[in-house]
Structure 1
Amino acid sequence: MPTSFWRSQEIRDRISTLDRSGFAVEFLRRNATYRREYARLQRRIARRATDAAAERAAFAERWGLGFCPCSR
């Protein structure tokens, strides 16, 4: 994503209204490393090559995430 996108007034206005968790979501969804790791996690789970719950827990721990039980 071009850095000029982050500098647009519309994006700055939207980001300025976010709470901490909202800002974290916006940061992570733009983080290439996070997106690659998440895609790898999803592929491993889809192949059933891993314990899905354990992998998700390890992923969440690595990235400092917390999930509500309803999102699983």
Structure 2
Amino acid sequence: MHVELDEPKCVAAGQCVLAAPEVFDQRDEDGIAVLLTDTPSPELHDGVREAAVVCPAAAIRLTDK
């Protein structure tokens, strides 16, 4: 799995951080999501998929590696 985050689309809802805190974080100054790793380990894939589904801005894109 490869994860892409379109930061300009992010609305700082934080849903990705709740779903996959090992993969996403938020900047302190504006709450915009930050991608911690673009190639999460297999045990994190379910959470990352959930993050992509619940993102209100559709700012997360997942592709096969």
TM-score (norm 1): 0.34
Relative contact order: is structure 1 or structure 2 higher (C-alpha 8 Å, sep ≥ 6)? 2
Structure with more helix by fraction = 1
Larger of the two Rg values belongs to structure? 1
Structure with more strand by fraction = 2
